[in-house]
Amino acid sequence: MTLTGANFTGFTTSAKGEKSFQAFAPATNSSLPGNFTQATAEELETVLSLAEKAFPVYRELSYIRRADFLDAIAKEIMELGDALIERCSAESGLPAARITGERARTCGQMQLFAKLLRDGWWVDARIDTAQPDRKPVPKVDIRRILVPIGPVAVFGASNFPLAFSTAGGDTASALAAGCPVVVKAHSSHPGTNELVSSAIIKAAQQTGMPEGVFSSVYLSHADVMTFVKHPVIKAVGFTGSRHVGMQLFQAACSRPDPIPVYAEMSAINPVVLMEHALAERKDTIAKDLAGSVVLGAGQFCTNPGLVLMTDSEASKAFRQQFAQEISATIPATMLNKNIHKAYEEGVRTFQHAEEISVLAQSSTAAVAEKYQAQPVVHGIQAADFMSKKEFSDEIFGPATLLVICKDDAELLAALRSLEGQLTATVHATEKDEAGIKPVIDLITQKAGRVIYGGYPTGVEVCHSMQHGGPFPATSDGRTTSVGTAAIYRFVRPVAYQSFPDHLLPEPLQNANPLGILRLVDGEWKV
C-alpha cells in the first residue's frame, strides 16, 4: 500500500504545504517510506470550516445512523489487514502481537459506543411534566437530554498508536456524542494515521455522513495553538506529556470563549504493599509487579512508578526478590527517540540524587541496540521522598521507586504528599484490615481508579471504567477517557420547556419511541 503523505481534508486529501517529514522506525533506527506533508494554514482553515458545516447535519442524525458509522469504521479498520499491523509495528517499535491486540481493542471501542448509541439511555433523558394547577405558580413541562458540544480536536498518543490515536477512544466518544472530529496526527506514526484515516473516511462515505465529520492533519507546533484557539473547536482531547497538555489547557483557557480540555498527562500510580500481604505473597507480588513495571517497556500511563511499604523483615525480603525479578527482565525498544532520551534523563536525575539508591537494573547487554529502555528499580526512605517534589515526578518507562516508610503513619503521610493519580493500588490480607481503611480513604481521594490486590496496567473498556484522576493525572478529573462514560465529555444538557410533543427530540417524546430508561417526575421508568 503506497502512502500519499497528504492531509485528510474532509472527503478529499490535500498536500499543499512545503514542509514534510518521514516516519522513523525505532527498532531498526531507520526512516520508513512516505513523505508526510504538514498542512498549510489554508488547509487547516478548510478542515475547520468543513467541521463547522458538518456539525448541524451530523448532530441531527439519529443515534442509529451514528452507530452504523462507528460500526463501519471498525469494519474498515479490520479491512486494512496486515498492512496496518506491519506499518504500525514498524512506526512504534511495538511487537505485531501487541498491535494486533490493540487493533481489536480499537475496533471493540467503536462497537461498544455503537451499542451505547443503539441502547440510547446514555442521553440521560429527564422529564418533569406540567402541573397547571400548582400554587402559587403553575409548573411548566421541562424535558432534558444531552446534546453534542461541537467540533472536537483530538491529539493522539504515541504509546497507543491505534487505541488512543486517530480512531482511538477520544475519536470514538466524540463521534458517538454527535461531534465532528479533527485529528492532529501524531508525528510518531503518520503512516498508521494515514491508513486509519482512510478507513474512517471510507466508513463515513459508505454510511452517508456529511463531509467534514472527520479530518486529519499534520501540524507544526505553532499551528497546533491556532487549531486549539480556533472558534470552530469546542473541546480538546489529548493524551501525552504534562508539559504539552498544560500548553493546550492554557491556550484553551485564554480563548475569548474558553473550552474544555481533556488532557491525560501524568501519573506515577502508587502501589501500597501492606505488611501481611508481603509476608504471605512476596514472591507472587514481586513477579507480577515486575511484569507490570516492564510491560510495553513501561510506556503506559498506568505504569506503577511508585511502591510504598513499611520496613519489616517481609518487606526486606520482598525488595530483594523484586530486585532479582527486575534484574532478570529484558530491555525493550521504546516508542521514539524523544521518549527514550527523556527516560534516560529521568533515570540519570534520580541516580544523581544522594537520597536514591539503585536496587536493581536489568542486564545492560541488550541495551547496545539503540532506543531500548533498561528497566530499573530505585529505593528511597519515605522522609527523603517527601523532602523533594521531584522525587514524585513521572519517569515514563520501566522504572519504579520503592519508598520505605518507618511506620503506618509515615506511609499515610507519603500518600498524602502525592499529587492526583490515574490509579492507586493496595495489596492486603484480612490481617491488614485494621490499618487499611485510612489507606483506602486516602487513595480514593487521590486517584480515579483504586485497585485491590492487582496491578494498574490493563484498562478495561467498559461502562464502569474511570480513566482520569485529579490534577495532574488529567486536567479534568470529573471525566474519563476510557469506557462508555467518555461520551459525557463531549455533550451538554439542553432543557426543552413547554414544547409540543412532535417538536421534541425523539428521546423526550411522550411515547418514548426509543424505549429508553427516563427519569419521569422523579421516577426512573422505561
By CB under 8 A, which span of 73-81, 83-91, 176-184, 496-504 interacts with its own copies? 496-504
| Binding window for its own copies (CB under 8 A); candidates: 172-180, 204-212, 354-362, 518-526 | 518-526
Q: Which is nearer to its own copies, 11 or 499 (CB)?
A: 499
Widest distance between CA atoms in the chain = 83
To its own copies, the closest distance from the beta carbon of 482 in angstroms equals 10
Instruction: Please say which residue, 260 or 298, places its beta carbon nearer to its own copies.
Output: 260
Shorter beta-carbon distance to its own copies: residue 194 or 432: 432
Give the active site residues: 264, 301
Q: Which is nearer to its own copies, 55 or 214 (CB)?
A: 55
Chain centre distance of CA 301: 8
In this structure, the number of other CB atoms found within 10 A of the CB of residue 343 comes to 24
In terms of phi and psi (left: phi > 0; alpha: psi -120 to 50; beta: otherwise), the region of 204 is alpha
Binding of its own copies by 291 (CB under 8 A): no
**Hey, is 134 helix, strand or coil?**
coil
Residues present in the chain in total: 526
Name residues contacting its own copies, limited to 113-172 (CB under 8 A): 119, 121, 126-128, 136-137, 139-140, 142-144, 147, 149-150
- Residue numbers 459-488 binding its own copies by CB under 8 A: 460, 462-466, 468, 470-472, 475-480, 485
524 binds its own copies (CB under 8 A): yes
In the bound complex, what is the minimum distance in angstroms from residue 276's beta carbon to its own copies?
A: 14
Nearer residue to its own copies within complex by CB, 12 or 129: 129
- CA distance readout (Å), 240 to 21, 98, 415: 21, 20, 24
Q: Considering the rule CB under 8 A, would residue 253 count as an interface residue with its own copies?
A: yes
CB of 500 to its own copies, least distance (A): 7
Contact 93, 23 (CB under 8 A): no
Output the smallest distance, CB 411 to its own copies, in A: 16
At its nearest, how many Å lie between its own copies and the CB of residue 364?
A: 31
Residue 376 and residue 398 in contact, taking contact as beta carbons nearer than 8 Å: yes
Q: Give the C-alpha separation, 246 to 258, whole Å.
A: 14
Near its own copies in 67-96, by CB under 8 A = none
The one segment of 1-9, 32-40, 253-261, 346-354 that binds its own copies by CB under 8 A: 253-261
Q: Which is nearer to its own copies, 191 or 468 (CB)?
A: 468
Rounded Cα gap, residues 501 and 163, in angstroms = 41
Q: Which SS3 state, helix, strand or coil, does residue 59 take?
A: coil
Cα(8)–Cα(15) distance, integer angstroms: 9
What is the SS3 assignment for 46? Answer: helix
Taking the CA of residue 333 as centre, how many other CA atoms within 13 Å lie in the half-sphere pointing to its CB? 17
Q: How far is the CB of 128 from its own copies (least distance, A)?
A: 4
Contact range with its own copies by CB under 8 A, out of 156-164, 250-258, 333-341, 402-410: 250-258
Pairing of strands 523-525, 357-361: unpaired
Q: Considering the rule CB under 8 A, would residue 231 count as an interface residue with its own copies?
A: no
Cell of 337: 527517540
Binding mask 366-405 for its own copies (x = CB under 8 A): ----------------------------------------
Footprint on residues 430-459 left by its own copies (CB under 8 A): 436, 440-441, 444-445, 447-454, 458
Residue 52 sits in the site that holds its own copies (CB under 8 A):
no
Interface with its own copies in residues 211-230 (CB under 8 A): none
Residues 403-432 that bind its own copies (CB under 8 A): 419-420
Identify which of residues 101 and 355 has a Cβ nearer to its own copies in the complex: 101
Distance between CA atoms of residues 179 and 185, nearest Å: 18
**Set of cell numbers at residue 334:** 521504546
User: How many residues line the site for its own copies (CB under 8 A)?
Assistant: 74
How far are the Cα atoms of 80, 82, 106, 148, 160 from residue 100, in angstroms, in the given order?
12, 9, 10, 32, 12
What letter does residue 139 receive in the DSSP assignment?
B
* 5 versus 260: smaller Cβ distance to its own copies: 260
In the Cβ-directed half-sphere of 199, how many Cα atoms lie within 13 Å?
A: 28
Binding its own copies (rule: CB under 8 A), the pick from 132, 348, 368, 500 is 500
Q: What share of the chain is helix, strand, coil (3-state, %, to 5)?
A: 45, 20, 35
- Which of 56, 81, 208, 291 lies at the binding interface for its own copies (CB under 8 A)? 56
517 makes contact with its own copies (CB under 8 A):
yes
Distance CA 151, CA 37 (A): 23
Name the residue nearer to its own copies (CB basis): 203 or 251. 251
Which residues neighbour 504 within 8 Å (Cβ) at sequence distance 6 or greater? 143, 496
Q: Which is nearer to its own copies, 18 or 500 (CB)?
A: 500
Cell readout for 412 is 499515610
Cross-strand bridge partners of residue 24: 31
* Cα distance between residue 245 and residue 99, in whole Å: 25
Minimum CB separation from its own copies for residue 146, in Å? Answer: 9
Question: At closest approach, how far in Å is the CB of 186 from its own copies?
Answer: 25
Q: Where are the beta strands (DSSP E) in 45-162?
A: 126-128, 142-148, 152-155
Q: How far is the CB of 290 from its own copies (least distance, A)?
A: 18
Residue 21 near residue 190, CB atoms below 8 Å: yes
The distance of closest approach from Cβ of residue 145 to its own copies in the complex, given in angstroms and rounded to an integer, is 9
Closest by Cα among 375, 299, 370 to 27: 370
